[in-house]
Structure 1
Amino acid sequence: MTEINRERRAFGVGVIGGPTTVIDIHGLRILVDPTFDPPTDYGYLRKTAGPAIPAAALGPIDLVLVSHSQHPDNLDTSGRRLALSSPLVLTTPTSASELGPRARGLVPWERFSHPSGVRITATPALHGPADDVGPEGYVNCEVSGFVMEARDSPTVYVGGDNASLKAVADIARRFPRIDVAILNAGAAHVPTKFDDRPLTFTAERAAAAAEVLAAARVVVAHQDGWAHFADGPADTRHAFRQAGIEAVLSTAPLGLWSVTEDVAIPVQA
Structure 2
Amino acid sequence: MTQQSESTTHPLGTPAPAAPFPPLAEPRRLGERRVWPRTFHDRLTAPLPGLKAMARFAREGSVRPGREGLAEIPLLPFSPAPLPRVGSRTIAVSWAGHASWVVRIGGLTVLTDPVWSRRIIGTPARITPVGIAWESLPRVDAVVISHNHYDHLDAPTLRRLPRHTPVFVPAGLAPWFRRRRFTTVTELDWWEAAELKGVRFDFVPAHHWSKRTLTDTCRSLWGGWVLTDRDGQRLYFAGDTGYGHWFTRIGRRYPGIDLALLPIGAYDPRWWLSDVHCDPEEAVRAAQDLGARRMAPMHWGTFILSAEPVLEPLRRVRAAWEKAGLSRERLVDLAIGGSRVLE
Q: Out of 6, 14, 32, which is 2:112 matched to? A: 32
Change (3 A) 1:126 1:84: farther
| Counterparts of residues 215-226 of structure 1 (less than 5 Å) | 215-226=292-303
Matched, 1:93 2:174: no
- Distance in 1 (CA, whole Å) between partners of 2:164 and 2:97 is 20
2:158 matched to 1:80? yes
Structure-1 residue corresponding to 2:129:
50
AA paired with 1:167?
Answer: W
**Residue-pair matches, total:** 246
State the alpha-carbon separation in 1 of the partners of residues 204 and 218 from structure 2: 15
Is the deviation greater in 49-58 or in 202-211? 49-58
Structure-1 residue corresponding to 2:195: 113
CA distance in 1: counterparts of 2:337 and 2:136, whole angstroms: 11
When the two structures are superposed, what TM-score results if normalisation uses the length of structure 2?
0.65
Corresponding residue of 1:266: none
1:92 CA displacement: 0.5
* 1:238 corresponds to: 319
In 2, the alpha carbon distance for the partners of 1:22 and 1:110 equals 23
The code of the aligned residue for 2:253 comes to R
- C-alpha RMSD over aligned residues: 2.5
For 2:162 and 2:319, how far apart are their aligned partners in 1? 38
Distance 1:172 1:13, change over 3 A: same
For 2:257 and 2:125, the matched residues in 1 are separated by 33
SS at structure 2 position matched to 1:258: strand
The corresponding residue for 1:187 is 266
Tell me the equivalent position of 2:273.
Answer: 197
Pair 1:159–1:17, CA change in 2 (3 A) = same
Aligned pair in 2 of structure 1 residues 4, 158: CA closer, same or farther (>3 Å)? farther
TM-superposed deviation, 1:153: 5.3
Task: State the one-letter code of the partner of 1:180.
Answer: L
**Which whole-Å CA distance do the structure 1 matches of 2:305 and 2:219 have between them?**
15
User: How big is the shift at 1:94?
Assistant: 2.2
Larger Rg: 2
TM-score (norm. length: structure 1): 0.82
Looking at structure 2, the residues matched to 139 and 45 of structure 1 have their Cα atoms a distance apart, in angstroms, of 25
Shift of 1:61: 0.3
Q: Which runs of 5+ in 1 are unaligned?
A: 129-137, 262-269
Give the residue type in structure 1 aligned to 2:273: R
Give 1:48 deviation, angstroms. 2.6
Shift of 1:180: 1.1
Q: Which moved more, 1:22-31 or 1:229-238?
A: 229-238
> Residues 239 and 28 (structure 1 numbering): CA distance in 2 closer, same or farther, change over 3 Å?
same
Residue 92 of structure 2 aligns to which amino acid in structure 1? G
Contact 2:103 2:110 in 1 (8 A): yes
Superposed CA offset, 1:52-87 (max 9, x none): 122221121000001012x22112243232456451
The 1:214/1:141 distance shift into structure 2, 3 A limit, reads: same
Mapped to 2, the partners of 1:206 and 1:76 lie a distance apart of 25
Q: In 2 relative to 1, CA 49–141 (structure 1 residues): closer, same or farther, beyond 3 Å? A: farther
Does residue 210 (structure 1) correspond to residue 287 (structure 2)? The answer is yes
Q: Distance in 2 between matches of 1:102 and 1:54?
A: 25
Q: Give the 3-state SS of the residue equivalent to 1:233 in structure 2.
A: helix
| Structure 2 residue 332 is the aligned partner of structure 1 residue 250 | yes
Q: Is the 8 A contact 1:124 1:145 kept in 2?
A: yes
In the alignment, is the contact (CA less than 8 A) between 1:30 and 1:64 conserved in 2? yes
Measure the CA separation in 2 of the matches of 1:6 and 1:245. Answer: 27
| Counterpart amino acid of residue 76 in structure 1 | D
Which of 89, 93, 96 is the aligned partner of 1:13?
Answer: 93
**Quick one: structure 1 residues 42 and 246, their matched pair in 2 at CA, closer, same or farther if it must change by over 3 Å?**
farther
Other structure's SS at 1:104 match: strand
